[in-house]
Structure 1
């Protein structure tokens, strides 16, 4: 079952019959206004300028101005790929003011990715996007505390993708606690990190896959510590979101980016 859950992840493309078991990704809250993350609030224009929406129904963040960091389960095999469109510069996907759309040229998927762990990938764009990038953690120093997640995914389990970027805060969950929950015994320590509330209510959801989980560093700047990967349902009690532990793969990500 764990392999099935991870294969489905929190992609927006999952079929209706699979929605009950897809993983949760960082998204905002369900409110009166349209929102993309369960239990989140709408992000302000320019609040997270590094956020990217990908045309296959996933999220991502600008690693460089020409490379997007996302989840491996969102992309195909490593190689040339011109079939992905990245949208950036807006929180409202229907807004044309400030919206930037760029096609992909190449994809790099983490070597050895098979649905369990190693859930990261890079997408090279046809041209740079002149927006701030999101630096990634290179040590485990920031792998605790409270994290921010954001995305255009569903505002409720099984719901539709959203027009507006939503944000939410979720607390770190230790490996031991995360593994104690039903369906999470296969958590891969050192490659995955859990975050969420035991009571549920706030989480990423379908369509948030590949988006960043981030927090402030010692200097007050945003730093990415996770990539939305999988989970059981969306915002259920005792079912936190699971994120790729970015610091583990920081060197590999940097090396791969240099080859694109």
Structure 2
């Protein structure tokens, strides 16, 4: 097998503007391409923006690198603590049990959880940013995903993938599910209740035919779509779903286009940390126990159970698409 050459791109103490330009130049272009079927283990360098969020040294959630200083994840992953020193970020891992010379463990300088998280409605504004103490050197194993602008559209038939270290799938291709169809799936037996509903800052995806869905350990992880001629854009963050067993229902993701201005504001107004004050960066750990502490939040069983008739209608609808 012929492997792609390793490269490295870095700037010494980049300014915020320089890091944005550099991230836009290299983002969304992994060294390895090609389809993976059936939720199989992802090949090395397939998803170089995939990150693991550690809480006190244990994997709790997925995350994604978006530029040299910033990582993005779901707000619900930070309900135990907002203290940056409680968290670390792993990059350049293909398997959490087997770090390589390409793996890095980064310390967190700042945790920014959206102020509206879970306030207006269930799991609303499920988004958080992490600023790292030190700039990440981009390599073929560590690259950012591209961020969409606020007006970027996501066609229903887009090629999108969810990745992570969950119980069932480590990566899998999923389809975007119409929000109105998704609302039917999470409809409460009490038609007047809308506690578990799909709002404008969310979207649904999944594969009800093959059972690809987000699972425990995938929380906060990326949903990326190949758009604009082959570039991978980070369109969603794994937010909540039904329990990860059959029958598999849609998964709900934080819609990043909705938060485009919020992300840009935080990145542009907060200065990069002084690297001289960064704590020592420890050797990338071997994680033998990475059962998630940040379980995907999901409605209770009595709410999410869908009638057989509704489930069949959903399957028919998806076959027609």
2:48 alignment partner in structure 1:
49
Report the alpha carbon displacement of residue 60 of structure 1 after superposing the two structures with TM. Answer: 0.7
Q: Is the 8 A contact 2:123 2:239 kept in 1?
A: no
Name the counterpart of 1:128. Answer: 135
Aligned residues: 214
Match of 1:89 in 2: 92
Separation in 2 of the partners of 1:129 and 1:239?
Answer: 37
Q: Partner residue of 2:163?
A: 150
What is the Cα-based RMSD across aligned positions, in Å?
2.2
Counterparts of 1:61 and 1:135 in 2: how far apart (Å)?
10
Residue 188 of structure 1, aligned match among 195, 198, 221: 198
Note if contact 1:78-1:107 (Cα within 8 Å) is conserved in structure 2: no
Long gaps (5+) in structure 2: 1-37, 189-193, 271-321
The higher-RCO structure (CA 8 Å, 6+ apart) is: 1
| Contact 1:85 1:103 (8 Å CA) reproduced | yes
**How far apart are 1:42 and its partner, in Å?**
1.0
Which ranges in structure 1 are unaligned for 5 or more consecutive residues?
Answer: 1-38, 157-165
2:63 to 45, 60, 63: 60
Q: Deviations over 1:123-164 (max 9, x none)?
A: 1111122232111222241253231110012127xxxxxxxx
The runs of at least 4 aligned residues of structure 1 exceeding 4 Å deviation read: 76-80
- Higher-Rg structure is 2
Contact 1:83–1:103 under 8 Å retained in 2:
no
TM-score by length of 2: 0.62
Which position in structure 2 is the counterpart of 1:210? 220
The answer to whether the 8 A contact 1:77-1:107 is kept is no
C-alpha contact 1:122 1:257 (8 A) present in aligned 2 = no
Q: Calculate the TM-score normalised by the size of structure 1.
A: 0.76
Contact 2:182–2:198 under 8 Å retained in 1: no
Alignment map for 1:15-34 (pairs within 5 Å): none
Shift of 1:235: 5.1
Relative to total residues, which structure has the larger strand share, 1 or 2? 1
